[in-house]
């Protein structure tokens, strides 16, 4: 399905927030909602968000104050938390190849939500990017639209996360190349990284086969296609 990339939405106390998939009122995404203000909570209610899906690890999560129901689906499940160094493509391959059950649980939560869902992690670009990509791909959206939506995060995230990235990498004695790649991991959403993830997904059977293999039901697939206004396909 070809469709427009939706404009950003305002949520006071968060950033990198927008509707995905070319339709308002379907699937929203953002950075962390931990610092959402009362005004931001009102905005979430006005947007009609019925469920928040938090993809962070337990040690990353704060106490939400936005008043929306939350389903937590930690994706990495690694002893040291999210990767701090390395390549975006390698991280995406790890999640797709080793965390299919978790990714599918998050997509199923989107399908089962009683209304519009909002997915977030910390910056709303990598974990969120993969889950949103899977949901949109399963619903029939084109690779081009999925990549375009994903790529919007980089310019928005960088001003908020540069200081954190510099701090996370400080003292790690990385080579110049490793440092560049690790900063890209923290700060960027390059189109080629999502194209790589979609190619990996295709090698694993494509979005529908992948999600069904990991537990997505026929009813949930139907709900995704209906709720995200995508063209159904086999």
> Per residue, what are the HEC states of 69-117?
CEEECCCCCCCCCCCCCCCHHHHHHHHHHHCHHHHHHHHHHHHHCCCCE
User: Is 121 a known active-site residue?
Assistant: yes
pTM over 0.75: yes
Instruction: Please tell me the distance from the alpha carbon of residue 162 to that of residue 159, in angstroms, as a whole number.
Output: 6
**Pick from 89, 59, 86, 90: nearest CA to 74:** 59
pLDDT confidence of residue 2: 40
Q: Which residues of the chain have pLDDT under 50?
A: 1-5, 231-234
pLDDT confidence of residue 6: 53
- Identify the CATH class of 18-227: alpha beta
pLDDT confidence of residue 48: 96
Residue 128 in contact with residue 141, Cβ under 8 Å? no
Select which of 17, 31, 41, 121 is catalytic. Answer: 121
Residue 119 in contact with residue 232, Cβ under 8 Å? no
């Amino acid at each position: 399905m070809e469709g427009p990339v939706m404009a950003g939405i305002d949520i006071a106390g968060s950033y990198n927030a927008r509707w995905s998939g070319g339709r308002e009122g379907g699937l929203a995404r953002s950075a962390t909602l931990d610092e959402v203000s009362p005004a931001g909570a009102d905005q979430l209610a006005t947007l009609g968000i019925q469920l928040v899906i938090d993809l962070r690890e337990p040690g990353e999560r704060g106490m939400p104050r936005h008043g929306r129901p939350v389903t937590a689906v930690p994706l990495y499940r690694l002893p040291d938390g999210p990767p701090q160094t390395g390549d975006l493509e390698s991280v995406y391959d790890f999640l797709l190849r080793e965390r299919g059950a978790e990714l599918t649980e998050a997509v199923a939560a989107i399908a089962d939500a009683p209304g519009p869902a909002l997915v977030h992690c910390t910056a709303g670009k990598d974990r969120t990017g993969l889950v949103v990509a899977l949901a949109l791909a399963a619903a029939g959206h084109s690779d081009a639209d999925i990549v375009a939506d994903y790529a919007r995060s980089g310019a928005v995230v960088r001003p908020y996360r540069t200081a954190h990235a510099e701090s996370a990498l400080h003292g790690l004695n990385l080579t110049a190349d490793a440092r560049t790649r690790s900063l890209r991991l923290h700060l960027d959403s390059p189109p080629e990284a999502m194209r790589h993830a979609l190619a990996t997904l295709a090698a694993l059977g494509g979005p529908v086969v992948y999600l069904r293999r990991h537990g997505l039901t026929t009813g949930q697939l139907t709900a995704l296609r209906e709720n995200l206004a995508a063209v159904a396909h086999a």
